[in-house]
Chains A and B, each alone.
Chain A
């Protein structure tokens, strides 16, 4: 007799609320990525494994570029290095036509080594070393000045030069987001920016050419960009009035949402993430509508990162242990982040739990977002709220409090998605090696774009003082050795 498909045996207490076997829908799976089976990827390159789809990267870039260029005559995208600066990823965007947007000397150097000319680098960020600024000035990078100290440093760098250097100012604005990113740049609402612009007109060799505003991150309402674009145009007109000359470019930064799902986001991203067309419409219509007639439209720069790379990135991971998690009842609602369904605890006071071979050290963005966790094989049984733990030896290593998952067992692979933005650049090496990263090209060929770490790599920068060079005296045997003896 053939054996029947197995699912983990389960009892649910039926109480008002969960008496609905369909409440979490069915169990979607992710068996392959761009036509390459997940099992094959894990077998060939190990688990966990970051996987990027080159096709998705290029398609998304083209979608974004199309959305803006069909509405605005002069658009330039700049790849936001911090979002993901694996060289292969950066080069895909550079090939597509992106220049680079960097926020440190390190990223600047990386962009140069990727073949980006200094004049095609937007240099952003609140901390730029004097040496980095000198290089940027010499290589005619687009410096976006963040603060008065930086402005004065620049002034001292350019004082004795023969020709003026063009700069832009970063501003922060009230655009209707619930927090204003006032850490960055100058206040565009209370007149501070105009004071700074007046000051620039008095400084030798500095020419204001651009205005930059990055309203925030994961902005779900395109109207915020409409406000930002309007205010930037108004500031540009003011700047010219006070003698700064014509503003040549507006940099609207990034912040467009990907298809990630925030904690406490009730509807899934398919319904909540605005299309790139809606952002483009808000920005382009506003600038075109308000820019003084008869004047050349300014060039529009965009530094969108997350929206271009997030959805193209996956993390394959494997189930290493199956657990139950006991939660006291008063903690139950506090432990739900997925919406109404998850507040329900049909297992009494416990919840299914899994341990994966990847941890939050690789998934920093899980602090804000809930990646989808999809089994790498089709599952027929209905999903249950499941806590997904990472492999770190730390209690805070919870990848998702309550992912809807069918019953999985050790050895099963899962695919986390989307994880292409920030996770690689913000990952940290902790207690084990960071995984390999592969990219699947448009011919379904798999390329390793970063090897798995090893002990030599991790220890490469370490040094051992001489007095620690010899081994310490062997202490007495440990009790477990005695016990065996």
Chain B
């Protein structure tokens, strides 16, 4: 059982409530930005490019952290398309 990103309820301080499972989560600002980008329908590649343009980060680091973040999200029960 996993919850699609579109069903997660979140506020702009990164607090997340999964209404299906009843679990709560806390995103940090960069994590929140990734979730917003993916929720808006961007592909993973496009979201990653957007992150690099918005934040002071090199591509190597952004890529590593991005996939790590998604892997963690999946493990925590979120469905990443």
Q: In the complex, A7 Cα to B29 Cα: how many Å?
A: 8
B57 interface hit (Cβ, 8 Å) = yes
Can you name the residue of chain B whose Cβ is closest to the Cβ of A410? B61
**Would you call B54 and A9 a contact (CB within 8 A)?**
no
CB distance from A16 to the nearest CB of B (A): 11
Q: In the complex, A451 Cα to B8 Cα: how many Å?
A: 57
Query: Which residues in B have their C-beta under 8 angstroms from that of A10?
Result: 27-28, 30-31, 69
CB distance from A319 to the nearest CB of B (A): 11
Main secondary structure of the interface of A (DSSP, over half): loop
Query: Which residues in A have their C-beta under 8 angstroms from that of B68?
Result: 8, 324
On chain B, the number of residues with a Cβ less than 8 Å from chain A's Cβ atoms is 30
Q: In the complex, A8 Cα to B29 Cα: how many Å?
A: 9
Picked from B28, B55, B62, B76, the residue with its CB within 8 Å of the CB of A348 is: B76
CB-CB contacts below 8 Å: B29-55 with A? 29-31, 33-34, 53-55
A431 interface hit (Cβ, 8 Å) = no
Picked from B30, B53, B60, B76, the residue with its CB within 8 Å of the CB of A9 is: B30
- Chain A, interface size: which category? 20 to 34
Given contacts A11-B25, A348-B72, A410-B61, contact A5 B56 (CB under 8 A): yes
A472 interface hit (Cβ, 8 Å) = no
Q: In the complex, A324 Cα to B23 Cα: how many Å?
A: 23
A381 interface hit (Cβ, 8 Å) = yes
**Would you call B75 and A6 a contact (CB within 8 A)?**
no
- On A, residues with C-beta under 8 Å from B are 3-14, 21, 322, 324, 347-350, 381, 409-410
- On B, residues with C-beta under 8 Å from A are 16, 23-31, 33-34, 53-57, 60-62, 64-66, 68-69, 71-73, 75-76
30 A–B contacts, CB within 8 A, in A order:
A3-B56, A4-B55, A5-B56, A6-B30, A7-B29, A8-B28, A8-B30, A8-B69, A9-B28, A9-B30, A9-B31, A9-B34, A9-B66, A10-B30, A10-B31, A10-B69, A11-B16, A11-B31, A11-B69, A11-B72, A11-B76, A12-B25, A12-B26, A13-B23, A21-B26, A322-B64, A322-B65, A324-B68, A349-B75, A350-B75
Contacts A10-B27, A10-B28 known; 9 new A-B pairs at CB < 8 A: A3-B56, A6-B30, A9-B30, A11-B31, A11-B69, A11-B76, A350-B75, A409-B61, A410-B61
